[in-house]
Each structure stands twice: as structure tokens, then as C-alpha cells.
Amino acid sequence: MSENKCQGCSGQNEQQQQGYNPESDNRLQGNLSRIKNKLVVLSGKGGVGKSSVAANLAVALSMTGKKVGLMDVDVHGPSIPRLLSLSEARPQAEENTMTPIRWSDNLSVMSIGFLLPSRDDSVIWRGPLKMQLIRQFIGEVSWGDLDYLIVDCPPGTGDEPISVMQLIGKDAEAVIVTTPQHLSTDDVRRSINFCSHTENPILGLVENMSGFVCPHCQQAVEIFSAGGGEILASETGVPFLGRIPLDPEMVRSADNGYAFIKTHPDHPTGQSINSIVQKIINFTEVKQGKQANQSLEDSTQEQIKSKHNGQLRIAIPVAEGQLCMHFGHCQQFALANVDQDNKKIQGMEFLNPPPHEPGALPKWLAEQKANIIIAKGIGSRAQNLFADYGIKVIVGAEGGTPDEIINTFLDGKLHSGENICDH
């Protein structure tokens, strides 16, 4: 019997093993669409301080006012909970969603370490289970709107980094951590080659443990070596982000569970980290500036056009005939049938929504065959629910009548601004 199976069965079984289904894929893509920058922290070998670098970069970015998520996908050795004194934290879970641990107003954290009954428990998993966990961390965790998602991967080029790059996509950028010794830089070459194979750009290389900071005079001394990472960056054409010295105080901070950059921002090592963070911000903002000529709505139109053959049904919450401040308190919804190819509104009706209850509006709009909603403000949980129903969300739209908003969208001139609601 097994010899007579159709060719599609093996592919279907592989997708099932990896935890794939269309609904989870919608949630995953919905979450990713709300993250501006995805940075994957890699290292060619263990022991280079990669997790410490990832944690301090995430904290430092959050201290600049950026909304940051830190995702620890080191299944066999999760370090982030200890590094941020979150070992006893447990996330709240609901059906198909999980709330990340809030380290601060600007930093949310997720790690398998939060899900283990004991820190002594080991995880003995093969590749497909790891893939499924990473998919759930990306698609089923309520990250909300993020400026940066920092992903802390285990060392090497195994299941976890491959899964992350496959799931996040080719816009994920690598931050590669090395120490200056040749033994480390040789392994980092493999990480650079790995990114070439996955076709992911490398944002830059960090040389960690570069020299030693004397605890008495705070001067850096090169007791091992320095410059190996910078030389490698030059040889491979990878941007060099900077050096972080080996600092006893930073080691103590890791052991005691407090973020070094939070308590020592003016220390020489803290200044090194902040310098790297500023380069990361500059690089990513330049990248976004280059992409500014194509608005978010242009990209949205192409995605929806491909999916719906150019036929859209756009929902807009209105009050007194104008865009309503919050979609959940509108008087009516304008539902317009749109020919995207000819940029014409073919018809519009105004419907009264059901009573405002959690989850009611996304389900109702899906029943009305809406595939895109344009609003002023929509909370994080509601956006995830819309994504579950395959409805694309644009928030931060300015005021106007439904006709004006839709025509501006069709002309590619509708620039979404700040989401006024995030609950």
C-alpha cells in the first residue's frame, strides 16, 4: 500500500511535522508584517557571549525608545531568562496566542526557558519539533508593533538558525558575534557563508571580548588579542559594528541577572555597546529610507492584488460619514467593492456592525467578505484576530470620507501613520 501513495503525501506529512497549517501561516505573516526590523544574532561557535550581546543590544535599543522583542530560540540552552532575571517568569496563554514576558514598557521577551517546569529540565528534540516551536514563537506570541525583533540563536548553522531564516524570510538581517581569536573567526566564516546560502543580508559583525577592561583603572588591555573580527569583516566585505571588551562587571551582571547596559551606560563597555546600537539604528533607518519611495500601501496592494485577482472588498469604520477614530466604536462600516486593476469603486454599502464584543467584529467582517480594513486605530489583539481571518489591516489612516480614503489608497498615496490604539 505504501508504494501506491501519491507524491503529495510526503510533502504534506513534512508540513504537518513542521506544525504548518494555513491558519497558523496567516497568524505568522500577520505578526511579521508588524515588525519593522528582524535581527538574527548568530555565532559560528559557542562561548563567544552571543546571548549576552543579544540581551544587551535588545535592552539598549529599548532604552532609546524603540519597541523591541527578544526571542530566545536556543532550545537546548536558553540563556535569556537568566540574563534578564526572568527565570521564574511564566507567560499567559490563551487559545492560539501567548503573551510575551514584559521586561519593560519597550521590551518583550519570549524563551523556551519560560515553558520548562524546572531550569534543570532538558529538551531532547529533533528538527521538526524545533521548527514547530519557532513557528509558534513567531506566529502565536502577541508581539504587537515592533521596531526590532532580536532573535538569539544557538551557535552554529543547525536547525534553529535555518528555521528562523526560513520562517522570517529574506528581510531578516544577521548580526554575527565573534571573539578576536582565529579559532573563533574561522568558525564565523561559516556563519557568513550560511547567510549567503539563505540569501539573508548581514547587518554587521561584533567583536566581543576584545581586550580586557581593568576593574581598577577601567582601561582596556589586550591580554589575548584584538582586531580579528574587524580584519574578518574587511576580508569578507561585512560591515563592522564594533568591539565589546571583556569586562568582569559585565560577567557579574550576566550571572546576577541584570542588564549591564541598563546599570552601566556610561562605563567604557556600556559606551561600546551604545556605539554599536547607534550604528544598528543608523543602518536600519537608512535601509528604510531607501524603501520609502514605495509606500506601505503600494506593497499591500500588490499582495492583495495577487491573492484576490485584483478584486477587493475594503471595510472602513465611519461615524457621521467620516473615518471613525476607533473601529470598535464606529456607527457603521462602509464596505466597498473595488476593482484594483482599473482603480475604481464598483459599489459601496453602509452596514451596522454587531455589538462591540471581543472578537465579534473580525468574524463579522470576514462574513461580509472583507479582505482589507483601513482604520485610524486597532489594538494589538484585534489585529491578530483580523490576521486569523485573512484580513489585511492598515492603521493610522488620516480622516476623510470612505471614497476619499479608498481613492487615495488606490493611487498609492495613502501613508499610514501612528496607530492610536494599542491594547
For residue 339, the domain's CATH number is 3.30.420.130
Asked, for residue 423, whether it belongs to a domain, the answer is no
Say how many C-beta atoms besides its own lie within 10 A of residue 63's C-beta. Answer: 18
* Spatial contact of 153 and 161, defined as CB atoms under 8 Å apart: yes
| 277 plus 318 within the same structural domain | no
For residue 148, the domain's CATH number is 3.40.50.300
* Distance in angstroms (rounded) separating the CA atoms of residues 148 and 285: 11
Q: Which of 299-308, 318-327, 374-383 has the lowest mean pLDDT?
A: 299-308
For the record, the C-alpha cell of 260 comes out as 549591564
Asked, for residue 420, whether it belongs to a domain, the answer is no
| 219 plus 321 within the same structural domain | no
Residue with the bigger pLDDT between 311 and 299: it is 311
Domain span at residue 373 reads: 296-410
| 347 plus 397 within the same structural domain | yes
Length of the chain equals: 423
H or E stretch at 289:
helix 268-290
173 pLDDT higher than 90? yes
Give every CB contact of residue 22 below 8 A, 6+ residues apart in sequence.
Answer: none
Average pLDDT estimate for 58-63:
95
| 228 plus 93 within the same structural domain | yes
CA-nearest of 28, 30, 21 to 391 is 30
Asked, for residue 165, whether it belongs to a domain, the answer is yes
Average pLDDT estimate for 351-358:
84
The SS3 call for residue 211 is strand
Instruction: Note the pTM of the prediction, 2 decimals.
Output: 0.63
pLDDT tens-place string over residues 305-317: 544 556 789 999 9
Q: What angle do CA 22, 23, 29 make, to 5 degrees?
A: 85
| 41 plus 174 within the same structural domain | yes
Residue with the bigger pLDDT between 246 and 310: it is 246
Strand-strand pairing, 202-213 and 220-221: antiparallel
Asked, for residue 419, whether it belongs to a domain, the answer is no
H or E stretch at 346:
strand 344-351
The pLDDT, as a whole number, for residue 93 is 82
For the record, the C-alpha cell of 388 comes out as 486569523
Asked, for residue 311, whether it belongs to a domain, the answer is yes
CA-nearest of 109, 122, 199 to 162 is 199
226 pLDDT higher than 50? yes
* Spatial contact of 192 and 203, defined as CB atoms under 8 Å apart: no
Asked, for residue 415, whether it belongs to a domain, the answer is no
Strand-strand pairing, 68-72 and 107-111: parallel
DSSP code string of 7-74 = THHHHHHHHHHTT--HHHHHHHHHHHTTEEEEEEEE-SSSSS-HHHHHHHHHHHHHHTT--EEEEE--
The SS3 call for residue 349 is strand
**Where is the domain boundary, 265, 290, 315?**
290
| 136 plus 228 within the same structural domain | yes
Residue with the bigger pLDDT between 382 and 206: it is 206
112 pLDDT higher than 60? yes
| 115 plus 202 within the same structural domain | yes
Indicate the average pLDDT of the chain. 80
| 12 plus 137 within the same structural domain | yes
**Where is the domain boundary, 290, 308, 325?**
290
pLDDT tens-place string over residues 121-163: 555 555 577 778 888 889 899 999 999 999 998 876 666 788 8
Q: Which of 100-109, 191-200, 288-297 has the lowest mean pLDDT?
A: 288-297
The pLDDT, as a whole number, for residue 12 is 38
Percentage with pLDDT > 70 across the chain: 78
| 305 plus 389 within the same structural domain | yes
| 264 plus 306 within the same structural domain | no
**Where is the domain boundary, 290, 319, 342?**
290
| 266 plus 283 within the same structural domain | yes
Asked, for residue 416, whether it belongs to a domain, the answer is no
Residue ranges of alpha helices (H) inside 292-423 are 296-308, 360-367, 380-388, 402-410
| 45 plus 82 within the same structural domain | yes
Asked, for residue 383, whether it belongs to a domain, the answer is yes
Total number of domains in the chain:
2
* Distance in angstroms (rounded) separating the CA atoms of residues 199 and 170: 6
What are the respective helix, strand and coil percentages of the chain, to the nearest 5?
40, 25, 35
Percentage with pLDDT > 90 across the chain: 29
* Distance in angstroms (rounded) separating the CA atoms of residues 163 and 169: 10
DSSP code string of 125-187 = --HHHHHHHHHHHHHSB---SEEEEEEEPPSSSSHHHHHHHHHH-TT-EEEEEE-SSHHHHHH
Average pLDDT estimate for 322-340:
87
The pLDDT, as a whole number, for residue 127 is 57
